[in-house]
A and B are shown apart, each in its own frame.
Chain A
Amino acid sequence: DTGVSQNPRHKITKRGQNVTFRCDPISEHNRLYWYRQTLGQGPEFLTYFQNEAQLEKSRLLSDRFSAERPKGSFSTLEIQRTEQGDSAMYLCASSLWSGENTEAFFGQGTRLTVV
């Protein structure tokens, strides 16, 4: 068990460019979450997958954001036409869901800077 892995760890991009982040969850975990965290704030929910199905998306997830989890394994989060306000830490978490008391394990995050 190598934990949740996210790549890249850091990304600097110019405004208007597209970026894609990858998350590899803990093996066998059926749930995968994406959160966004800005300085001084707690993580904010973006979306989650149960296996390969994307079951909920936050209003924070504008139409410029898209997430996939093909085959229920790794997931990608793409941001199109990036804006400076997209600068944040993007966190991925996974869990082996068994109820509300199920712990979610976080990856190290991808820090996005839009210049």
Chain B
Amino acid sequence: QKEVEQNSGPLSVPEGAIASLNCTYSDRGSQSFFWYRQYSGKSPELIMFIYSNGDKEDGRFTAQLNKASQYVSLLIRDSQPSDSATYLCAAPTSTKFYFGSGTKLNVKP
């Protein structure tokens, strides 16, 4: 059984700041992680995934994975009000995704 833990927030940051979203996991066998964004009342949409230790950058988003500490994070640079949403961390297996409860991000203009 995989456990994926996230702080539910809300995390409030001012527009233009860096938002840092964190996720911890219990299964040392987990090899990769997905970050999904979910706007209120909408379905999750993929932002990025990471499977190697270190950083992976995609535009304003950077995912960081530290397998030794069982910790994965998502940094959003130059945060915009349109980034306000719930961010879900997910650990995949061969049959399913295990999702965290999500962190709600509020970006204030």
A residues at B contact (CB < 8 Å): 33, 40-45, 48, 55-56, 91, 100-109
Contacts and interface: CB of A to CB of B under 8 A. Distances in A.
A55 B93 CA distance: 14
B43 A108 contact: yes
Interface string B21-40: 00000000001101000000
Contacts of A40: 8, 101-102
B54 interface: no
Contacts of A100: 31-32, 92-94
B51 A106 contact: no
Nearest to A106: B43
A101 B101 CA distance: 20
B67 to A, nearest CB: 15
Contacts of A101: 32, 49, 51, 92
User: 8 closest Cβ contacts across the A-B interface?
Assistant: A42-B99, A106-B43, A45-B96, A100-B92, A42-B101, A43-B99, A56-B95, A106-B44
